[in-house]
Amino acid sequence: MMRVVGVIGAGAAGLCAARHALASTGLSPVVWEKSSQVGGTWVYTPHTGKDQDGLPIHSSMYQSLKTNLPKEVMGFPDFPFSSDKEESFIHHSDVLKYLKSYTDNFNLNQYIKFRHHVELVTPVVTDEKTTWQVTVQDLDTKTSSTTVCDALLICNGHYSVPRMPQVEDIERYKGKQVHSHDYREPSPYKGLTVVVLGAAASGLDISLELATVAKEVLLSHNFPLPIPSELPPNMRQVQGVVSALDEGFVFADGSSAQADVIMYCTGYEFTFPFLTDDCGVTIENNIVKPLYKHVINTTHPSMGFIGIPFQVCPFPTFDFQVRYFLGTLTGIVTLESQNEMVAATQFELECRRSLGYSDKKFHQLGFVRQEQYLADLAKNMHAAQIPQHILTNFKVVVFRAIFSIMKFKQYSYSNDGNTLIETLHGKRI
């Protein structure tokens, strides 16, 4: 008998889940997607706030966004991006096109219930297993229905709910406060002084775009050293914001500056508003608990989470996580006992702590840990390792992005078998 794998969300993670469930013996996917199309965060909208159904806008894309990873690194391992375009860092609309062609190629549309909003997930626990009652609202008819699934993959995306930092005295600040989730284009910031708080991918990218129109951009961050890259003349680095003034901010070194706007590029929260307490999932200090290998709910292993790790190659990571999770259902992967999974996760956390990492970075992999992580998943599911050139290109890009923020997207990459070919303005280097 076919077992039903419920999938929440039809972004890259949910599509990947559906594609591999279809390819697995005895599994059949059903995907719920609250919007009317696939692609998740890659579906750009100029709007902010609420959508036509009164739900918060999901996408955090801005109009001009080009990927921060080359397409040669970004794609699913079994479905590379088309090499029609020479440029490697492509516009967000090209990523959406790619996800649509992935959907068509694997005939996924028929398994997706569009405009279906998952509202409640409840476990049904018996001695042998946990199944899942998923209650969904059809946003067109406003009617609710419940489906029982043998397994459930949570693919609701983790770049939608802004994380707001605590800034002392922020209530006295008279300027404008915006989170990068609501940033769309630079024209409203023309001639203004903007503090951009946070210097990860979005903070850097948005700062550069703002610098094309703003009077001055103050890139505020807590890195121990200044970012060693050339910057536009009207952009400078300052330490982290500690408190607000009426018309500006005080930074960690005691200096202060006037600013018309603060742009929070401070990341996003993990949220699973549809999970009842019985699911046993909590979020503490940016750690989603209790997850084994950042995927499996150790209390109820028939529930998996895709896309929790960050600072990774997202699509390839989804692909490995999905196949690992599905492998636990089909018998390809043998899970350890609950106690062993809990102990292994705690051990990983303690190791991180002993290396000096704060808990909130537990799901942050980076290139060294990503390589080990994907190798471990591959080993456990007896599958091929991730192609080495993806890992190599990822490292090259990370370094280039740090040392050459203004130029790193001008490089192109192509894969000739396992060899990395890198070009700048069409010239091989």
Smallest separation, CB 67 to ligand FAD (Å): 3
φ and ψ at 244, to 5 degrees? -105, 150
- Our CB check for ligand FAD shows the closer of 33 and 260 to be 33
Smallest separation, CB 24 to ligand FAD (Å): 19
User: What letter does residue 127 receive in the DSSP assignment?
Assistant: S
For the segment 205-244, give every residue that binds ligand FAD (CB under 6 A): none
| Pair of tokens at residue 406 | 């203004």
SS3 assignment, position 401: helix
What span, in angstroms and rounded, lies between the C-alpha atoms of 134 and 147?
Answer: 5
Q: Which of 186, 301, 304, 307 binds ligand FAD (CB under 6 A)?
A: 307
For the segment 237-276, give every residue that binds ligand FAD (CB under 6 A): 274
From first CA to last CA, the distance across the chain in angstroms is 56
SS3 assignment, position 393: helix
What span, in angstroms and rounded, lies between the C-alpha atoms of 302 and 4?
Answer: 11
Q: Binding to ligand FAD by residue 279, rule CB under 6 A?
A: no
Smallest separation, CB 252 to ligand FAD (Å): 26
Smallest separation, CB 51 to ligand FAD (Å): 10
Q: How many of the chain's residues bind ligand FAD (CB under 6 A)?
A: 33
Q: Binding to ligand FAD by residue 67, rule CB under 6 A?
A: yes
What span, in angstroms and rounded, lies between the C-alpha atoms of 174 and 245?
Answer: 8
Q: Binding to ligand FAD by residue 117, rule CB under 6 A?
A: yes
Q: Which of 4, 5, 7, 10 binds ligand FAD (CB under 6 A)?
A: 10
- Our CB check for ligand FAD shows the closer of 4 and 257 to be 4
Q: Binding to ligand FAD by residue 178, rule CB under 6 A?
A: no
Q: What is the length of the chain?
A: 429
SS3 assignment, position 396: helix
Q: Which of 155, 197, 265, 377 binds ligand FAD (CB under 6 A)?
A: 155
Q: Binding to ligand FAD by residue 70, rule CB under 6 A?
A: no
Smallest separation, CB 411 to ligand FAD (Å): 14
Smallest separation, CB 196 to ligand FAD (Å): 14
Smallest separation, CB 83 to ligand FAD (Å): 17
- Our CB check for ligand FAD shows the closer of 162 and 248 to be 162
* Burial grade of 152 (CB within 10 A; 0-12, 13-18, 19 or more): buried
Single-letter amino acid code for the residue at 220: S
The counts of H helices and E strands in the chain are 8, 23
Smallest separation, CB 14 to ligand FAD (Å): 5
Q: Binding to ligand FAD by residue 58, rule CB under 6 A?
A: yes
Q: Binding to ligand FAD by residue 325, rule CB under 6 A?
A: no
Angle at 294 between CA 386 and CA 338, to 5 degrees: 120
Q: Which of 8, 204, 288, 322 binds ligand FAD (CB under 6 A)?
A: 8
Smallest separation, CB 153 to ligand FAD (Å): 10
Q: Which of 6, 7, 20, 33 binds ligand FAD (CB under 6 A)?
A: 33
* Burial grade of 21 (CB within 10 A; 0-12, 13-18, 19 or more): buried
CB under 8 Å to 303, separation ≥6 — which residues?
123, 130, 132, 151, 152, 153, 154, 279, 281, 296, 297
Angle at 107 between CA 301 and CA 38, to 5 degrees: 70
Query: Binding string, 183-202, against ligand FAD, x = CB under 6 A?
Result: -------------------x
| Pair of tokens at residue 339 | 């106690």
What span, in angstroms and rounded, lies between the C-alpha atoms of 407 and 248?
Answer: 31
- Our CB check for ligand FAD shows the closer of 116 and 300 to be 116
| Pair of tokens at residue 322 | 């999905």
The contact set with ligand FAD (CB under 6 A) reads 8-14, 32-35, 40-42, 58, 60-61, 65, 67-69, 74, 117-118, 155-157, 159, 202, 274, 307, 314-315
